[in-house]
């Protein structure tokens, strides 16, 4: 849906809400599976396929739409689909890595998708007008973060107890406050904060 909204109709605001809905469902079904103890190899693969479409192809389509509006008659906008390629690699690595239950290696695909989808929403509302080279730079940097070896804390709750979830609760509270005040334009900053906090938390763990 988000991909069609971005490419077929150019409705980047609608595409944002569809990506956000996908992220909400991805979080809630994962939480329900963990709380109920219901896992299956088939479910894991189907979840990754859905993630690839929602968090890989859709953000690529959103960035592609923004690029072609600011730079006509060039192949450069096709570079937006680097996001889809690196998202596929990120998801494939996640499926075969048993050490990503409490922390992720690289930026999670939903965070990356929400970053670009929120930029698309702001673009649609006229709040930003990034040129193609800024978008290309963001595409390269964020795609690299998807597969980088940096450990990033997971927002997956194995229980709702405070113990073991302190960082998650604090981050979610800060994100909720930022969203309440600044709304959708706060999302890129929240994703940036997530990356910074993950790096700092990892540095403290090593000490």
Q: What is the mean pLDDT of residues 122-134?
A: 93
Cross-strand partners of 105: 151
Share of the chain above pLDDT 90, in %: 59
Asked whether the predicted pLDDT for residue 116 surpasses 80, the reply is: yes
> What does DSSP assign to residue 174?
H
pLDDT tens column, 168-195:
889 999 999 999 999 999 999 999 999 9
pTM over 0.85: yes
Q: How far apart are CA 83 and CA 107, in angstroms?
A: 12
In sequence order, what DSSP letters do the residues of 115-165 get, joined into one string?
HHHHHHHHHHTTS----HHHHHHHHHHHHHHHHSS-EEE----S-S-STTT
Residues 61-84: pLDDT tens digits? 999 999 998 777 678 899 999 999
Helix (H, G, I), strand (E, B) or coil at 88: helix
Please write the tens of the pLDDT for every residue from 13-67.
999 999 999 999 887 766 555 556 666 676 677 788 899 999 999 999 999 999 9
Name residues whose C-beta falls within 8 Å of residue 115's C-beta, 6 or more positions apart in sequence: 59, 142, 187, 188, 191
Q: What is the DSSP letter of 56?
A: I
């Amino acid at each position: 849906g988000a991909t069609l909204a971005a490419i077929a109709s150019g409705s980047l605001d609608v595409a944002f809400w569809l990506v956000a809905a996908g992220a909400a469902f991805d979080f809630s079904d994962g939480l329900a599976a963990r709380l109920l103890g219901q896992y299956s190899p088939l479910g894991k693969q189907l979840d990754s396929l859905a993630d690839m479409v929602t968090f890989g192809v859709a953000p690529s389509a959103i960035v592609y739409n923004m690029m072609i509006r600011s730079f006509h008659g060039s192949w450069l906008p096709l570079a937006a689909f680097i996001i889809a390629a690196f998202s596929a690699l990120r998801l494939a690595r996640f499926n075969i890595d048993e050490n990503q239950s409490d922390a992720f290696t690289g930026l999670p695909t939903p965070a990356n998708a929400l970053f670009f989808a929120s930029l698309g929403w702001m673009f649609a509302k006229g709040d930003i007008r990034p040129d193609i080279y800024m978008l290309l730079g963001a595409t390269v940097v964020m795609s690299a973060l998807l597969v980088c070896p940096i450990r990033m804390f997971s927002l997956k709750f194995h229980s709702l107890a405070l113990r073991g979830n302190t960082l998650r609760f604090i981050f979610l509270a800060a994100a909720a406050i930022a969203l309440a005040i600044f709304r959708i334009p706060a999302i890129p900053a929240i994703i940036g904060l997530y990356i910074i906090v993950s790096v700092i938390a990892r540095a403290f763990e090593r000490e």
